[in-house]
Amino acid sequence: MKAITNLTLAGLSLAAGVAGAVVAAPLFHHHQEPAGRLTAMWANDYATLSEMTNDADAVVLGRVTQTVPGRTVEFADGRPALPFTFVDVEVTQVLSGEAPAFVTIEQTGGSFLGKEIFFEDDGGAYQAGDEVLLFLQEQEGTGLYLVPHPAGRFSVESGRLLAALPDHPAAQALDYRSVKLARSLIGR
């Protein structure tokens, strides 16, 4: 008898859960704002933090000092095709690999035909003063660096890391963790 009662209660509770979800469904759907206007297929993706660390030339903590417009690639007919932005970062600590005291990152995106356009999933435009942790690769022959996958970009707020791509498996190990823990997980 008790088993039947428990089963009935469980069934009713399950139904209540389903009903709750249906009632809550508009909350999932109605917050539809235009989120991103640039998306990519990345050349390298990482399953784990150690994979991403091993692929980086350097993992650094630093502060963005300025952003300036970079090159614009043109279409074959001379029309502007795609802007880039230079992001200057003062490196405060190298956690893995080697990097100079100041690095310039080339970020895809920038001002284009009167609009600011950046990737939706890499944290968007950098701002001067941003405290960051970045997984960097050096661009061959240019002296510039890039963040090869948005999972390798974190902002630092109140001593905690906030991933640009928090759902990514390689970023999850550091997201919302302390800088101190990042140091121990990454290397130095």
The phi-psi region of residue 19 (left if phi > 0; otherwise alpha if psi is between -120 and 50; otherwise beta) is alpha
Measured from the CB of residue 96, what is the shortest distance to other proteins in angstroms? 18
Decide if residue 147 touches other proteins (CB under 8 A): yes
166 is a site residue for other proteins (CB under 8 A): no
Paired with 108 in beta bridges are: 84
Q: Is 1 in the site for other proteins (CB under 8 A)?
A: no
β-pairing, 131-138 with 58-74?
A: antiparallel
Residue located via tokens 């417009």? 69
43 versus 158: smaller Cβ distance to other proteins: 43
Sign of CA dihedral 57, 63, 65, 66: positive
Among 108, 155, 172, 178, interactor with other proteins by CB under 8 A: 108
Nearest Cα neighbor of 161 from 127, 123, 107, 104 is 123
**Would you count residue 78 as binding other proteins (CB under 8 A)?**
no
How many residues touch other proteins under the rule CB under 8 A: the total is 56
Binding site for other proteins (CB under 8 A): 6, 9-18, 20-22, 24-26, 28-30, 32-45, 73, 75-76, 81-82, 84, 106, 108, 112-113, 115, 117, 119-120, 137, 139-140, 142, 146-149
